[in-house]
Structure 1
């Protein structure tokens, strides 16, 4: 796409539009998916004047060290430490006036939504987009899928605890992940509640008080992993009127499903850009505030770095269910 540049900002991949950006989106990937997988989608958003910072989830993609037996992090560390660091770095890079939105895919959407409940987000973030991101609660899935999600999630957490980490790179699901994160995910699948280990707040209570605008998108063909019912289940945790609900079916009739949508999402990028434009029109002038870092921050993970092109590469998505990614999207119910 003419005028679009891909650069690196530490472990995050920065895609810049031609000219001055109208807004910036911080994109948090799905479990096991590197940030570079979203390069084409990021370029489509940049075509609408939006800069995109695609961040690596800790331990995956370009992030080091990789998750293993010595790794101990879960939802809480991503929510309270990593996302605030990324957002603070983006604010420092672009300044306090540029509208900033979070966009999360699958696990990245869950993490983004929980971060949005924290005080740091209230002073730095203007909106949240969820794409193919739903609750993992087994009761949110239709029919026989309920039993499959419950059995698989609990088995995965058990195996991760016994083995010391989740070997998803060998099993075709979610990449290498720490046992702690898999237990957090399995707890959500079993109970329907966000109660990660080491949590310092009641996330369920904070979700009920959230006022940040949300665009929640389910994707045609994503019936096995984040079906409409699972996306609806996640949205129901928010107050009425906060979320705009959308089901995206491409005009060509294709069904991109849970993983393939970033490769052909020009229409979705247009709709997201329109939504951010609507928010900007109603957005009051931002008053600069002191940047609030995370509590007890670890060493900064997002930092200025030598700039070089970001490349596309294949990935395995976070897929609650069978251990193999289907070759074609499942039929939509």
Structure 2
């Protein structure tokens, strides 16, 4: 693994990790992270994929993980970013950086965890992607959330966030033990989406619904019956935005694998290297 620094579209310095050898790889894959999740969380999976013939690039959005500037270590107050910034400026730059390493002849695939599968349609250079895998990706609309999440998320959206954002100037999720530290704009925008049935399509003044409907990139959706965040309805709703893309929806129960739990984050744990992980390279090879 090689740690790299690269510039976002607007020049903001970001951090990424490159796994595998581009000169020997059969294809490339970009890992696009979930909300509040560091690229480090995907390291074992990325390293394994490199042994399967892929060159893999993971990264942190601005303000997250290794892309959090030293001056903002104590507080993200003042960091100007929302989810669209992460998509249009950060993820687009990560894809462009990987493209420059592998060249135009090599296919690049996308693996989006949760938020990483939601924002594909917002990334301007998304046409460079040959295939997309989503893991635990669904709409954040709170009334469609799993019962476990719905029982307390109203408190987050109607009390905690409206109090915390003006008080701290960012969302201090680490201290609150909720999601993680997030820039003010990210949390405010995400809250708006999660309170609306149409989720990100509710953003005013956009043509995002048409943009997503125009996508033809083949999609494999991996979702889990015990996901504590995303219900089957959340999953179906979000992937419905990709209305004209070929979609294969796999909903997996822990019992299918002889385990007690997978959940929203379990896919990337090493004990699924023999069961869940091979589904990605096998589908990408078809």
Q: Could you say which TM-score interval applies, normalised by the shorter chain?
A: 0.7 to 0.9
Q: Given the alignment of the two structures, is residue 96 of structure 1 paired with residue 131 of structure 2, yes or no?
A: no
Unaligned runs of 5+ residues in structure 1 are 1-5, 279-333
Which structure has the highest strand share of the two?
A: 2
Q: Distance in 2 between matches of 1:153 and 1:44?
A: 37
Secondary structure of 2:47's counterpart equals: helix
Query: How far apart are 1:19 and its partner, in Å?
Result: 7.1
Q: Distance in 2 between matches of 1:196 and 1:83?
A: 22
Q: Given the alignment of the two structures, is residue 260 of structure 1 paired with residue 266 of structure 2, yes or no?
A: yes
Extract structure 1 runs of 4+ deviating beyond 6 A. Answer: none
Out of 203, 206, 211, the position equivalent to 2:216 is 211
Q: Given the alignment of the two structures, is residue 86 of structure 1 paired with residue 94 of structure 2, yes or no?
A: yes
Out of 122, 133, 140, the position equivalent to 1:115 is 122
Query: How far apart are 1:156 and its partner, in Å?
Result: 4.2
Query: How far apart are 1:43 and its partner, in Å?
Result: 1.9
Would the aligned equivalents of 1:160 and 1:182 in 2 still touch at CA under 8 Å? no
Q: Distance in 1 between matches of 2:37 and 2:177?
A: 12
Task: Please give the TM-score of this superposition, normalised by the length of structure 1.
Answer: 0.73
Q: Given the alignment of the two structures, is residue 175 of structure 1 paired with residue 180 of structure 2, yes or no?
A: yes
Match of 1:305 in 2: none
Q: Distance in 1 between matches of 2:251 and 2:180?
A: 27
Would the aligned equivalents of 1:132 and 1:218 in 2 still touch at CA under 8 Å? yes
Instruction: Kindly indicate whether structure 1 or structure 2 has the higher relative contact order, using CA contacts under 8 Å at least 6 residues apart.
Output: 1
Q: Distance in 2 between matches of 1:76 and 1:19?
A: 33
Q: Distance in 2 between matches of 1:182 and 1:171?
A: 14
Match of 1:76 in 2: 84
Q: Distance in 2 between matches of 1:51 and 1:29?
A: 17
Query: How far apart are 1:73 and its partner, in Å?
Result: 0.5
Task: Give the aligned CA root-mean-square deviation in angstroms.
Answer: 2.4
Secondary structure of 2:277's counterpart equals: helix
Match of 1:188 in 2: 193
Match of 2:59 in 1: 55
Out of 8, 12, 18, the position equivalent to 2:3 is 8
Secondary structure of 1:194's counterpart equals: helix
Q: Distance in 1 between matches of 2:189 and 2:21?
A: 37
Q: Given the alignment of the two structures, is residue 29 of structure 1 paired with residue 33 of structure 2, yes or no?
A: yes
Would the aligned equivalents of 2:135 and 2:223 in 1 still touch at CA under 8 Å? yes
Which structure has the highest helix share of the two?
A: 2
Secondary structure of 2:31's counterpart equals: strand
Q: Distance in 2 between matches of 1:274 and 1:125?
A: 17
Query: How far apart are 1:75 and its partner, in Å?
Result: 1.1
Q: Distance in 2 between matches of 1:277 and 1:43?
A: 18
Match of 1:328 in 2: none
Q: Distance in 1 between matches of 2:244 and 2:100?
A: 33
Secondary structure of 1:269's counterpart equals: coil
Secondary structure of 1:62's counterpart equals: helix
